[in-house]
Chain A
């Protein structure tokens, strides 16, 4: 028997995207679930591209904050839309990299001809957060369910104490291995890389300015579906001043850099609720439906750093992922028209840029003869990023892919770099081209 020949890789087209406006935690979306938000986002995409009743190759997405009932979140959301119920779906989770990783997974299947089209997405809520039973109470209740006699059941139940009902297990925005929150880790990075407060506030200010301008220009009109009466990200402050940012007190300094912190609620992303989705397809599928291609997803890379033993900064993995991807793509860091660096914290972006300019870091950590060098800052996050829009963890990747694809389509030709840092010391990066 001769083995069949695998297909050669095809170009993967990004046809469009959709998201609901992102909303600050415990705000307008406080009472809606991940399922509600993802369904509204998918339905908006289906409506825009007239995919009603169609069977897509696959829908891939995920959420970082999940209830146990949401084990099949994406499939359940698909079933709630007007897509053909025969559309398969699965959930993934790679922290803040979830959305971009989902796009990469769908793209790879399209590239290999396994599917013709698919949707990648992500959703997160920190308002409708999963709250666990008190851990002691949970163990007692499990013991009760294992009990075989009434006596055993009573004995187990007798261990229940009233305070167990009032002390639920809450989700934590922290790294399990260090006990530090992501902001505390980033404060340590800002210290190591000597990132000044003022530079962080300036980056945050630009993010708000850029996003506000994009809304004024109607840039998001075909990238967004209003939801719950909201048509614009609620974190956006178009009238935000640098003076206001300067007046905010550092909020992650206490444990790691007492009284000397630089990260504030203004130059860090707030907890956010929201969802996003991107439509990807083969060129043939798009052409058959007369759908224009915005851009192509051409390269991707994921890196992870040892932030625990080697003490590399928790959010420095994109600094490793990008040069590896550039080497494969045979590109220089300067060969891009747009840079979309997810602003988890202004300091994360500035640490990454500084690391790429640093000869010692590039030589000793990246093994490069020359530093990657500086980028043209006027090409960075041109239509704003997470500091202004907010950051519903798994939804950020979809927001960035759709935004960058449209920017490249508007420009006509060009190349854009996406860089997203994620919990666990991971970095997810990609290149879009047109």
Chain B
């Protein structure tokens, strides 16, 4: 008989100091240098009861450009999963450190409307391995439950750079935007956006915080959080009302160096699992370099 999957409960609420403490643990974990990994050891990280906090949501919405009438932003629940991912990276269950891990893709599905005040159970499990030309791809699976119903789930696809001879089937990009897109709007990603998003998300990775700290890690300037860029685009893509269901698949293409003006390109004449569909890309100001590419579908509450 299989032994039960270990479950680790994370109690603390994310805050700046907690985030910094976590960052220290993450930095300590930076020394991990495993050999070839055949499969990730199963584990479940858990926050049994997290309340969707209206103040936190408002702070997130402000940084990402969402309007109050849009309700709980589609990607906001991913903020609740961040402490689980960080605890996982700092633990011995994760073979690799957080630093030097690249966010390749992110898939979010919302199955039911969410409201501030909802009490949620947040779970995280490591997923599958895929082989990438630049290293090892692995996924983290997140599930959020409300009253025994799965209301939200996400898959983070991550790339550990430099792993020789990676395991698993070959990684392939899932999004091929054959449709022509047109400019919907442009927005400013200012120099301080990494710090502001870091504060609301808890993700204080130095590559996002300042040009100086980013230089230490080989970037010319600070880069925007991919999840901020995605959220900022979604704020413009989604209507000014809450969603019932949604499905967003995004692939991160090139870093958005701060500060910069970015352009949002989109089209809506596409098919998807839900009634309202769109493809979009965030590109540089000239529109010739994609920062991210996404496929969105949703239904309104």
| Interface, chain A (partner B; CB < 8 A) | 196-198, 201, 242-243, 245-250, 253, 259-261, 264
Report yes or no: A196 in contact with B269, Cβ–Cβ below 8 A.
Answer: yes
**CA separation between A181 and B264, bound complex, in Å?**
24
Residue in A196, A245, A246, A259 whose CB lies within 8 Å of B185: A259
- Min CB distance, B62 to chain A, in Å? 15
Q: Are B182 and A197 in contact (CB under 8 A)?
A: yes
Are B185 and A247 touching (Cβ within 8 A)? Answer: no
Task: Determine the distance from Cα of A198 to Cα of B269 in the docked complex, in whole angstroms.
Answer: 8
In whole angstroms, how far apart are the Cα atoms of A249 and B283 in the complex? Answer: 13
**What residue of chain B has the Cβ atom nearest to residue A201's Cβ?**
B182
Are the CB atoms of A259 and B236 closer together than 8 Å? yes
Residues of B within 8 A of A245 (CB): 182
Q: Which of A196, A246, A250, A261 has the most CB of B within 10 A?
A: A246
Name A253's closest neighbour in chain B (CB-CB): B185
**Which residues of A are found within 8 Å of B267, using beta-carbon distances?**
197-198
Interface centre among B180, B182, B263 (most CB of A within 10 A): B182
User: In the complex, what's the smallest C-beta–C-beta distance from A357 to chain B, in angstroms?
Assistant: 18
Number of A-B contacts (CB under 8 A): 47
Q: Give min CB distance, B101 to chain A, whole Å.
A: 32
Q: B48 to nearest A CB, angstroms?
A: 38
Of B183, B236, B264, the contact of A246 (CB 8 Å cutoff): B183
Give complex CA distance A264, B187 in Å.
17
- 8 Å CB contacts to A: which residues of B143-183? 180-183
Q: Is B130 an interface residue (CB 8 A)?
A: no
Q: How far is the CA of A260 from the CA of B184 in the complex (A)?
A: 6
Besides A250-B183, A260-B239, 19 other A-B contacts (C-beta < 8 A): A196-B268, A197-B184, A197-B267, A197-B268, A198-B180, A198-B182, A198-B267, A246-B180, A246-B183, A247-B287, A249-B185, A259-B65, A259-B184, A259-B187, A259-B235, A259-B264, A260-B184, A261-B184, A261-B185
Query: Does B16 touch A at the CB level, under 8 Å?
Result: no
B contact residues around A253 at 8 Å (CB): 185
In the complex, the answer to whether B185 meets A250 with C-beta atoms within 8 Å is yes
Cβ-closest chain A residue relative to B239 = A260
Instruction: Assess whether B268 is in contact with A250, with CB atoms less than 8 Å apart.
Output: no
Tell me, rounded to whole Å, the shortest Cβ–Cβ distance linking A304 to chain B: 31
CA distance A197 to B185 in the complex (A): 12
Residue B254 interfacial (CB < 8 Å):
no
CB distance from B150 to the nearest CB of A (A): 30
User: Would you give the shortest CB distance from B283 to chain A, in whole angstroms?
Assistant: 10
Between-chain CB contacts (< 8 Å), 8 pairs? A197-B184, A198-B180, A242-B180, A249-B263, A250-B185, A259-B187, A259-B264, A261-B185
* B181 smallest CB distance to A (angstroms): 7
Given contacts A259-B235, A259-B236, A260-B236, contact A250 B184 (CB under 8 A): yes
Most buried by B among A198, A246, A250, A259: A259
The answer to whether A243 and B180 have CB atoms under 8 Å apart is yes
* Residues from 257 to 296 in B contacting A, C-beta threshold 8 Å: 263-265, 267-269, 287
Q: Is B186 an interface residue (CB 8 A)?
A: yes
List CB contacts (< 8 Å) of B191-240 with chain A.
235-236, 239
Chain B proximity of A296: nearest CB distance (Å): 42
Across the two chains, which residue of chain B brings its CB closest to A267?
B182
Write out the residue numbers on chain A whose beta carbons fall within 8 Å of the beta carbon of B182: 197-198, 201, 245-248
A197–B184 Cα gap in the complex (Å)? 9
Report chain B residues within 8 Å CB of A201: 182
Q: How far is the CB of B186 from chain A (nearest CB, A)?
A: 6
Task: Give bound CA distance, A259 to B236, whole Å.
Answer: 5
